[in-house]
Amino acid sequence: MAINYGKIVFIFVLCAIVVASAKNFTNFLATNVLPDGEIERRIHYRGVTAKETTVSNTSKVRLTFRQLTDGKHFIQLIYDDRDNIIDCEYLHQRDQVELFLVKFNEDLIKTTSNVTVDSLDDRRLPDDIRPWWHYSKLRDLCRKSHKAIRKSLREVRQREESSRKRSRQTRAISDYLIWPGTLWCGYDHIAPSYTNLGAMSNTDRCCRKHDHCKLNIHGFTTKYHFYNPKPFTMSHCFCDNSFRACLKMADTSDANLVGKLFFNIIQTKCFVLKPKKYCAKRSWWGKCTKTKYTKQAIIRDNLAY
């Protein structure tokens, strides 16, 4: 097999330029355009580090994923093309902060194509970055978003239980939580019946099948001895694997964007069920006299899309 030494040298030199450029600046902005159109921006400015990933499709539907840390706290948020928060979480775990910073530095080294590095030393942050460059502000917005989502989910479940007609307010909230062009892709579904599909029918068909997975844990609920702290429903790993395969077979820009959102950006986890022994009956002095087995959800990481 012939070895292209010229290409190897070029990649090595380009990698060295990117890393050296970033290291020469105390504050910098590194922008990378991936072959599939994704845009990544890595920013370090006055002790705060962040990464922004923007994905879009041929229908001009755009999503933005932002991760930010001040060295002590960590927050990540997903925005739609109107800059509304779709999902978010904030953490105070030191290991999560360190994991993000290590990955941030590793990505700077690995990213060697279509990269531009700009110095932000003695400069203000770009106008489009400045509004979200505050951890406390983002945390407050995240809290408000979770509160609104919980309220919406309660209204949807109450509506389903009572079979009453949706109010205009509930409809507006539910529609906002559904992927554009679909009836089944989102926190809930807005399809009048099982046979109804949105304009992105191939993608919607995959979401419909995934929505009907019988082994699931709805957002902000407890099942199989596990509490799901996210607004998205968590499904059995078999269902998520089937969902990924369905989107891959659809092979449309919309299906691929939903796949990237679900598996790469939101990084939804799945679960498997394992038997767990528990005490079903105790004697009056506390000794267990009868044991039974129940199903325990064990959380797993999904494969990337």
The per-residue pLDDT string of the chain (305 residues; one tens digit each, 9 = 90 and over) reads 444 433 333 333 334 444 444 455 589 999 988 777 788 899 999 999 999 988 876 556 678 889 999 999 999 988 887 888 878 888 877 888 998 999 898 888 876 567 889 999 989 999 999 999 999 999 999 888 888 877 766 776 666 566 544 443 433 444 445 777 788 887 777 888 899 998 888 999 999 999 999 999 988 889 999 999 877 789 999 999 999 999 999 988 788 888 988 888 777 899 999 999 989 889 888 899 999 999 999 999 999 88
- Residue 236 annotated among the catalytic residues of the structure: no
Separation between Cα atoms, residue 117 and residue 25, nearest integer Å: 9
This prediction's pTM: 0.66
The string of DSSP letters for the chain reads ----HHHHHHHHHHHHHHHHHHHT-SSEEEEEE-TTS-EEEEEEETTEEEEEEEEE-TT--EEEEEEEE-SS-EEEEEE-TT--EEEEEEE--HHHHHHHHHHHHHHHHH--SSEEEEE-TTSPPPTTTGGG--HHHHHHHHHHHHHHHHHHHHHHHHHHHHTPPPPHHHHHHHHHTB-TT-SSSBSS---SSTT---SSHHHHHHHHHHHT-SSEE-TT-EETTEE--SSSPEEBHHHHHHHHHHHHHH--HHHHHHHIIIIIIS---EEEEEEEEEEEEE-TTS-EEEEEEEEEEEEEPPPP-
- Tokens at 146, concatenated: 């979770």
- Tokens at 105, concatenated: 């530095």
> Given 44, 146, 210, 236, which residue is catalytic?
210
Tell me, what's the pLDDT at 12?
A: 38
- Residue 118 annotated among the catalytic residues of the structure: no
> Given 188, 204, 211, 240, which residue is catalytic?
240
Report all structural domains of the chain as residue ranges with CATH numbers, in order of start. 5-133 (no CATH), 200-300 (1.20.90.10)
Tell me, what's the pLDDT at 222?
A: 93
Tell me, what's the pLDDT at 301?
A: 92
